[in-house]
Amino acid sequence: MHILRGYIRVAGTMAAVALLAASQVVAADPYRPFVLAYTESGVDVSAEVANVRERLEGADFRFLGEYPVSDEQHVIVVTHDDLLAVAGSEDRGGYIAPVRVAVTAVNGQLQVSYNNLEYFRHAYRLDAPVSGISESLADALGAEREFGSEDGKSQRALNRYRYTFGMERFDAPYELASHGSSSAALEELDRNLGNQVAGVSEVYRVEIPGQDVTVIGVAVREADGAEQDAADLHQLGAVDVGEFRHTATVPIELMVRGGDVEALHMRFRKALHFPDLSMMGDHSFMTLRSSPGELETTLRAAAGHQEDQADGFEW
């Protein structure tokens, strides 16, 4: 009997160790920024966009807007009531609200892909699960594989993510403008985005439940007057050259919180979408070295940034 109890204790300990090890493996599972839903032969982007939109609407996703980036790149933006609940569960969680679904024509093939909610949930430091919404996306569109990073990123790495030492994390956004209230901020944005100030225009907007927060997705187009280094198409052309394209990187999100307008810093956001991009060489971050500053200036103009007035004293 004593021997039997000893075996039971040992077996129980080994089972506990095995469960702990399994949980650690699950916690360390790597995540990648995009999901490839499917590929098809063809070049008719508009027809595939209509097909994708129909599939999403049939799965209870709410259409927010769409962005024809070029003749070969088109993004549909949707959300879901369950995803909005996740977005409203944390301060600054609104960045998770939009699902960006891209149709991209590449070498005679159409790629349909979308941003991986599990990856971005951890990058945006959200505890609420998104697995149900991810499953709904997979059911509606497919989920052949994740892509965008060869080795992927762990939950811990994404919670603390920055591209390299000295670069911004999630909690260091562009602070674009400050107005007296959310209504004043939205009024300013309505005016400026409607007039395409600095080449920036609205693609969608969504209010985050339970918070005084609105997320506005914007297009930055050189054809509308944006400086080249700030423009979406220029940036994608510079670095998005892999087998599977990162078109679902755009549009950029502006977040209106009370009277303040912010956006994720490009050195964080672009790196989060292209974590394997090299620092130097062809199609590297160095090809976009002027873009973070130019984009900040561009988004500040769209947000109605006012320089602080001098107080009359000079030293």
Would 308 be classed as within a structural domain?
no
| Structural domain of 39 | 34-303
Would 21 be classed as within a structural domain?
no
Give the tens place of pLDDT for each residue, 202-238: 999 999 999 999 999 999 999 999 999 999 999 999 9
Give the tens place of pLDDT for each residue, 106-135: 999 999 999 999 999 999 999 999 999 999
Asked if residues 189 and 216 have their Cβ atoms less than 8 Å apart, the reply is: yes
Would 191 be classed as within a structural domain?
yes
The CA angle 273-166-176, to the nearest 5 degrees, is 65
Sign of CA dihedral 251, 257, 259, 265: negative
Tell me phi and psi for residue 215, to 5 degrees: -105, 130
Would 9 be classed as within a structural domain?
no
Give the tens place of pLDDT for each residue, 61-71: 999 999 999 99
Number of structural domains, the chain?
Answer: 1
Would 176 be classed as within a structural domain?
yes
Would 47 be classed as within a structural domain?
yes
Would 29 be classed as within a structural domain?
no
Predicted TM-score of the model (pTM): 0.88
DSSP 152-195: -B-HHHHHT--SSTTS--TT--EEEEE-SSHHHHHHHHHHHHHT
CATH number for the domain spanning 79: value is 3.30.310.70
Give the tens place of pLDDT for each residue, 150-172: 999 999 999 999 999 999 999 99
CA–CA gap between residue 9 and residue 7 (Å, rounded): 5
The token pair that represents 219 in the structure block: 């297009």
Q: What is the DSSP letter of 197?
A: G
